[in-house]
Structure 1
Amino acid sequence: MSARREGAGSRFLYDSFDAAQARIEANERVMQERWAALEFRLGQIDAVLERLERRIWLGVCGLTAFLLAQGAEALIGAALR
Protein backbone atom coordinates (compact mmCIF):
# COMPACT_ATOMS: atom_id res chain seq x y z
CA MET A 1 0.00 0.00 0.00
CA SER A 2 2.99 2.31 -0.39
CA ALA A 3 2.14 3.17 -3.99
CA ARG A 4 -0.55 5.74 -4.48
CA ARG A 5 -3.34 4.84 -6.84
CA GLU A 6 -4.89 7.64 -8.85
CA GLY A 7 -8.23 8.82 -7.46
CA ALA A 8 -8.23 6.45 -4.48
CA GLY A 9 -8.41 8.02 -1.04
CA SER A 10 -6.85 11.08 0.46
CA ARG A 11 -3.44 12.27 -0.53
CA PHE A 12 -2.62 12.58 3.18
CA LEU A 13 -2.73 8.81 3.52
CA TYR A 14 0.07 8.35 1.01
CA ASP A 15 2.14 11.56 0.97
CA SER A 16 4.56 12.00 3.82
CA PHE A 17 4.64 15.23 5.76
CA ASP A 18 8.08 16.71 6.16
CA ALA A 19 7.82 18.38 9.56
CA ALA A 20 11.45 19.53 9.55
CA GLN A 21 11.04 21.34 6.23
CA ALA A 22 7.79 22.93 7.38
CA ARG A 23 9.49 24.13 10.57
CA ILE A 24 12.39 25.59 8.57
CA GLU A 25 10.00 27.42 6.24
CA ALA A 26 8.01 28.79 9.18
CA ASN A 27 11.22 30.02 10.84
CA GLU A 28 12.30 31.67 7.59
CA ARG A 29 8.96 33.50 7.34
CA VAL A 30 9.26 34.63 10.97
CA MET A 31 12.79 35.90 10.36
CA GLN A 32 11.65 37.79 7.25
CA GLU A 33 8.92 39.51 9.26
CA ARG A 34 11.36 40.35 12.06
CA TRP A 35 13.82 41.76 9.53
CA ALA A 36 11.10 43.90 7.95
CA ALA A 37 10.09 45.18 11.40
CA LEU A 38 13.72 45.94 12.22
CA GLU A 39 14.19 47.88 8.97
CA PHE A 40 10.99 49.83 9.67
CA ARG A 41 12.14 50.72 13.19
CA LEU A 42 15.61 51.72 11.97
CA GLY A 43 13.97 54.00 9.42
CA GLN A 44 11.99 55.65 12.21
CA ILE A 45 15.13 56.09 14.32
CA ASP A 46 16.95 57.61 11.34
CA ALA A 47 14.12 60.12 10.81
CA VAL A 48 14.18 61.08 14.50
CA LEU A 49 17.95 61.60 14.39
CA GLU A 50 17.65 63.81 11.30
CA ARG A 51 15.04 65.99 13.06
CA LEU A 52 17.25 66.18 16.15
CA GLU A 53 20.24 67.21 14.03
CA ARG A 54 18.18 69.98 12.43
CA ARG A 55 17.13 71.25 15.85
CA ILE A 56 20.71 71.25 17.10
CA TRP A 57 21.91 73.19 14.05
CA LEU A 58 19.05 75.64 14.50
CA GLY A 59 20.14 76.18 18.11
CA VAL A 60 23.78 76.63 17.10
CA CYS A 61 22.84 79.15 14.39
CA GLY A 62 20.55 81.00 16.79
CA LEU A 63 23.26 81.22 19.45
CA THR A 64 25.77 82.43 16.86
CA ALA A 65 23.35 85.08 15.63
CA PHE A 66 22.72 86.22 19.21
CA LEU A 67 26.44 86.50 19.96
CA LEU A 68 27.10 88.37 16.71
CA ALA A 69 24.25 90.78 17.49
CA GLN A 70 25.65 91.38 20.98
CA GLY A 71 29.11 92.00 19.51
CA ALA A 72 27.74 94.40 16.89
CA GLU A 73 25.77 96.25 19.58
CA ALA A 74 28.92 96.58 21.70
CA LEU A 75 30.92 97.90 18.74
CA ILE A 76 28.23 100.42 17.81
CA GLY A 77 27.92 101.53 21.43
CA ALA A 78 31.69 102.00 21.70
CA ALA A 79 31.84 103.91 18.41
CA LEU A 80 29.13 106.40 19.50
CA ARG A 81 30.86 107.35 22.75
Structure 2
Amino acid sequence: MRMQNDAPPGRYGFEAFDCAPALRLQANERVTSLQFAAIEERMSRLEAAMQRLERRLWLAVYGVVGAILAQAFQPLLAAVQ
Protein backbone atom coordinates (compact mmCIF):
# COMPACT_ATOMS: atom_id res chain seq x y z
CA MET A 1 0.00 0.00 0.00
CA ARG A 2 1.35 3.40 -0.95
CA MET A 3 1.77 6.40 1.28
CA GLN A 4 -0.25 9.57 0.99
CA ASN A 5 2.35 11.36 -1.17
CA ASP A 6 2.11 8.49 -3.69
CA ALA A 7 5.89 7.97 -3.73
CA PRO A 8 7.28 4.51 -4.44
CA PRO A 9 8.54 2.71 -1.37
CA GLY A 10 12.29 2.85 -0.74
CA ARG A 11 14.46 -0.22 -1.18
CA TYR A 12 16.46 -1.51 1.75
CA GLY A 13 16.07 1.74 3.63
CA PHE A 14 17.68 3.88 0.89
CA GLU A 15 16.07 6.61 -1.18
CA ALA A 16 15.43 5.93 -4.85
CA PHE A 17 17.88 7.70 -7.15
CA ASP A 18 18.66 7.92 -10.83
CA CYS A 19 22.11 6.87 -11.90
CA ALA A 20 24.19 8.96 -14.29
CA PRO A 21 24.16 6.47 -17.22
CA ALA A 22 20.37 6.27 -17.11
CA LEU A 23 20.07 10.06 -17.06
CA ARG A 24 22.51 10.31 -19.96
CA LEU A 25 20.51 7.74 -21.93
CA GLN A 26 17.27 9.62 -21.26
CA ALA A 27 18.89 12.90 -22.35
CA ASN A 28 20.18 11.30 -25.54
CA GLU A 29 16.75 9.85 -26.30
CA ARG A 30 15.15 13.26 -25.76
CA VAL A 31 17.70 14.99 -28.02
CA THR A 32 17.18 12.33 -30.71
CA SER A 33 13.40 12.72 -30.58
CA LEU A 34 13.75 16.52 -30.85
CA GLN A 35 16.10 16.13 -33.83
CA PHE A 36 13.67 13.80 -35.60
CA ALA A 37 10.80 16.20 -34.95
CA ALA A 38 12.84 19.06 -36.42
CA ILE A 39 13.76 16.98 -39.47
CA GLU A 40 10.11 16.02 -40.02
CA GLU A 41 9.06 19.66 -39.80
CA ARG A 42 11.75 20.72 -42.29
CA MET A 43 10.74 17.92 -44.66
CA SER A 44 7.09 18.96 -44.55
CA ARG A 45 8.03 22.58 -45.27
CA LEU A 46 10.28 21.45 -48.13
CA GLU A 47 7.52 19.28 -49.60
CA ALA A 48 5.08 22.20 -49.46
CA ALA A 49 7.61 24.45 -51.20
CA MET A 50 8.17 21.82 -53.87
CA GLN A 51 4.43 21.53 -54.49
CA ARG A 52 4.13 25.30 -54.90
CA LEU A 53 7.08 25.31 -57.28
CA GLU A 54 5.55 22.48 -59.29
CA ARG A 55 2.27 24.39 -59.62
CA ARG A 56 4.15 27.47 -60.84
CA LEU A 57 6.11 25.38 -63.31
CA TRP A 58 2.97 23.84 -64.80
CA LEU A 59 1.38 27.27 -65.00
CA ALA A 60 4.41 28.51 -66.96
CA VAL A 61 4.26 25.46 -69.27
CA TYR A 62 0.56 26.04 -69.98
CA GLY A 63 1.27 29.72 -70.60
CA VAL A 64 3.98 28.92 -73.15
CA VAL A 65 1.77 26.34 -74.89
CA GLY A 66 -1.08 28.86 -74.98
CA ALA A 67 1.17 31.52 -76.52
CA ILE A 68 2.44 29.09 -79.16
CA LEU A 69 -1.10 28.01 -80.04
CA ALA A 70 -2.24 31.64 -80.23
CA GLN A 71 0.59 32.43 -82.65
CA ALA A 72 -0.28 29.33 -84.71
CA PHE A 73 -3.96 30.25 -85.02
CA GLN A 74 -3.37 33.96 -85.67
CA PRO A 75 -2.53 33.54 -89.40
CA LEU A 76 -5.50 31.18 -89.82
CA LEU A 77 -7.86 33.76 -88.32
CA ALA A 78 -6.35 36.51 -90.54
CA ALA A 79 -6.83 34.34 -93.65
CA VAL A 80 -10.50 33.66 -92.86
CA GLN A 81 -11.40 37.36 -92.68
Q: Which residue of 2 aligns with 1:8?
A: none
Higher relative contact order (CA 8 A, sep 6+): 1
How far 1:16 moved relative to its partner? 5.0
Task: Tell me if 1:77 matches 2:78.
Answer: yes
Q: Highest CA radius of gyration, 1 or 2? A: 1
CA RMSD of the aligned region, Å?
1.7
Q: Which residue of 1 aligns with 2:20?
A: 19
For residues 36 and 73 of structure 2, the distance between their equivalents in structure 1, rounded to whole angstroms, comes to 55
Question: 1:18-57 to 2 correspondence within 5 Å?
Answer: 18-57=19-58
Percent identity, aligned pairs only, is 37
Gaps of 5+ in 2: 1-11
With the length of structure 2 as denominator, give the TM-score of the two structures: 0.77
Equivalent pairs counted in the alignment come to 70
Q: Which residue of 2 aligns with 1:62?
A: 63
For residues 44 and 17 of structure 1, the distance between their equivalents in structure 2, rounded to whole angstroms, comes to 39
How far 1:79 moved relative to its partner? 4.2
For residues 66 and 18 of structure 2, the distance between their equivalents in structure 1, rounded to whole angstroms, comes to 73
How far 1:52 moved relative to its partner? 0.2
For residues 16 and 68 of structure 1, the distance between their equivalents in structure 2, rounded to whole angstroms, comes to 78
With the length of structure 1 as denominator, give the TM-score of the two structures: 0.77
